[in-house]
Amino acid sequence: MDRRSFLRTSAVLTSGLAALAASLSPLFEMQDFPTAEKFLQKYYKEMTPDDMAKVVKRIENEVERQYGMRPHVRDLKPMDGVEFVYCLNLTRCIGCRKCVHACVKENNQSRNPEIQYIRVLKMPHGSMDMEKGEHNYAPESVPEKGFFYMPVQCQQCKNPPCVKVCPVHATWQETDGITVIDYDWCIGCRYCEAACPYWARRFNFTKPEIPKDKLNPEMAYLGNRPRRQGVMEKCHFCIQRTRAGKYPACLEVCPVGARKFGNILDPNSEVSYILRTKRVFIQLKEELGTSPRFFYYFDV
């Protein structure tokens, strides 16, 4: 190779590489570049208790660093002989959306951009056609005459389409009926979001933002621990509460007692009683064969 062509080739190469480096410069704006430890973290079901203890510790440290508050992260397991079921009384619901905001608070959902697990539809009297529902109603006061209100959240299906389509098993159904997500395993393909017939899943399109003083420190690994950018999340029946013997936050806040929650395997539970005695209850989109564990009923 002669001198001139050498110089020319190296000039082309150098400028090409410089342009390449320049085009990649936005990567410096990245806040949480995955560390080797996070990158190689194991799948939830493959972690030993030791692995889990280490990961939990790391998460606690991270949260403390970021929010200035030491959280209490637990890996709560499903209880034997428990299958959770939710019942919602459509006659009572007044559409106040208190459940929506209690859920956001309890589950450390991003405030900016806003992520909410519960969507309340304002439905015209007499119709269950959700296309007629209004999502963004904002009257002076609720309820309004001629309408009923239908809150929709993850229906915790027995045949969950989201679990079937996930290419990496990042979401699965636990023995107590809750479909959970390993936030550290999800690749963010959003196939589950397309598959869900109830529009129950939410994606972190960017890094979630929670004000420091609004963080709920009582956390579960598969539940309300802070999520990262680029992963899915959804209602998990407040796993950090319900697996510790408490009611979900949406139920506790409901001012009219429209929400009932309990163990369907226990014949004496409230939900067993409702499903046994009500003449009509509704599983949304029953025809899809998803078999939700979320039942809508009426005071008749």
Partner 1 sequence: MITAVRNYLVFLRRCARIAFVGDWRYYTWIGVLFAVCLIGLNAYAKQFAHGLVVTGMSDEVSWGVYIANFTFLVGVAAAAVMMVIPVYIYDNEELHDLVIFGELLAVAAILMCLAFVTVDLGRPDRFWHLIPGIGQFNFPASMLSWDVIVLNGYLVLNVHICGYLLYCRYRGRKPSKWFYIPFVFIAIVWAISIHTVTAFLYVGLGGRPFWNSAIVGPRFLASAFTAGPALIILAMQVVRRVTAAAPESSSALHNGEHSEEHHFSSRPATSEDLAILARHLPELASVPLQVRESILEGAVVLEAEAGDVFLRQGETDNRAFFILAGRVVVKREESGRFRVTRSVGPGEQFGETSALAGTPRAASAMAEEQATVLRLPADSVRKLMKTPRLDKVIRARMSERLMITDRGLMVLRSIVQVSMLINVFLLLNEVFKEFYTRTSHVASAQYLFLGLHGHHALVPWIWTAIAFNLTAMFLLVLPLSRSLKWLNVTCVLCILGIWIEKGMGLVIPGFIPTPLGAMVEYSPSLNETLVCLGIWAFGLLCYTLFLRMSVPILQGRLSKANEPTTKPRQPSAILHAVTAR
| Nearer CB in complex with partner 1: 143/188 | 188
For residue 195, the minimal CB distance to partner 1 (Å) is 5
Q: Which two tokens stand for residue 280?
A: 């009509």
| Nearer CB in complex with partner 1: 198/261 | 198
For residue 1, the minimal CB distance to partner 1 (Å) is 8
The DSSP result for the chain, as a single string, is --HHHHHHHHHHHHHHHHHHHHHTGGGGG-SSPPPHHHHTPPPGGG--HHHHHHHHHHHHHHHHHHHSS--EEE-PPPPTT--EEEEEETTT-----HHHHHHHHHTT--BTTB--S-EEEEEETT---GGG-BSS---SSSPPTTEEEEEE-----SS-HHHHH-TT--EEE-TTS-EEE-TTT-----HHHHH-TT--EEE-SS-----GGG---EEETTTTSPP-TT-EEE--S-HHHHTTT---HHHHH-TT--EEEEETTSTTSHHHHHHHH-S-EE-TTGGG----SEEEE---
| Nearer CB in complex with partner 1: 257/289 | 289
| Nearer CB in complex with partner 1: 23/141 | 23
For residue 197, the minimal CB distance to partner 1 (Å) is 3
Interface residues toward partner 1, by CB under 8 A: 1, 5, 16, 19-20, 22-30, 34, 39, 43, 113, 119, 121, 129-133, 135, 152, 161, 164-170, 185-191, 193-199, 201-207, 229-232, 285, 288-290
| Nearer CB in complex with partner 1: 67/117 | 117
Q: Which two tokens stand for residue 134?
A: 């209004």
| Nearer CB in complex with partner 1: 115/264 | 115
